[in-house]
Amino acid sequence: MSREPEAAFEESLEALVQRLSQWRATRASVRSSIPKDLWQEAVRLAGASSVWRVSKALRLNATDLKRRCEGAKRGRKGVKRAQAGAAPSGFVEVEARAGAPAAGGEVVVEVQRRDGAKLSLRGADGPAMAGLMHAFLGG
C-alpha cells in the first residue's frame, strides 16, 4: 500500500473503531448482535487489508469476520452471474400460476439448507409454505 491509501485506510478503521465502541457502550444486552452496517464496513476494511489486522483493531472474532468476508465474496459472484443472465448456483426460481396446483391438488416442496437440514412441505397453500420456508432458511 502506498502512503495515501494507507492513511485513508487508517482513518476508516479508526472511525469504525469509534462506531463499534459507541455501539458497545449503548447496546441493550451483551449478547446483542452487531448491526449489519458495522459488519459490512468491517468486511470492506478486511478486504483492503487483512482479516487479522481488522479483527484485532475492532476486537472482533477473526473467524466470524473471515466467514463474513467469504460470504461477501460468494455474494458478489452471485450478483455477477445474475447480471450475466444465469441463476446463482443453489437457487431455482419456479413460477407457478395461481389456482393451478399439481395433479391431485397437492404441492410438494423440499428444501435443504447448507448445514444439511431438510424441510419437506406438502399442501396447496402457497403463501403459508413460503412463510415456513422463509423461517426455515433463516430469512
What is the per-residue pLDDT across 128-138, written as a single tens digit (0 to 9) for each?
Answer: 777 777 787 87
Whether 87 has a pLDDT exceeding 50, the answer reads no
pLDDT for position 95:
61
pLDDT for position 16:
95
Confidence label for 120 from pLDDT (cuts 50, 70 and 90): confident
Q: Would the pTM of this model clear 0.85, i.e. be above it?
A: no
- Per-residue burial over 32-64, b if 16 or more Cβ lie within 10 Å, else e, is eeeeeebbebbbebbeebebeebbebbebeeee
Give the whole-angstrom CA distance, residue 44 versus residue 23: 19
For range 85-102, the mean pLDDT: 54
pLDDT for position 42:
94
For range 73-96, the mean pLDDT: 53
Confidence label for 60 from pLDDT (cuts 50, 70 and 90): very high
pLDDT for position 54:
95
Look at 4 and 87; give whichever has higher pLDDT. 4
Phi-psi region of 107 (alpha: psi -120 to 50; beta: other; left: phi over 0): beta
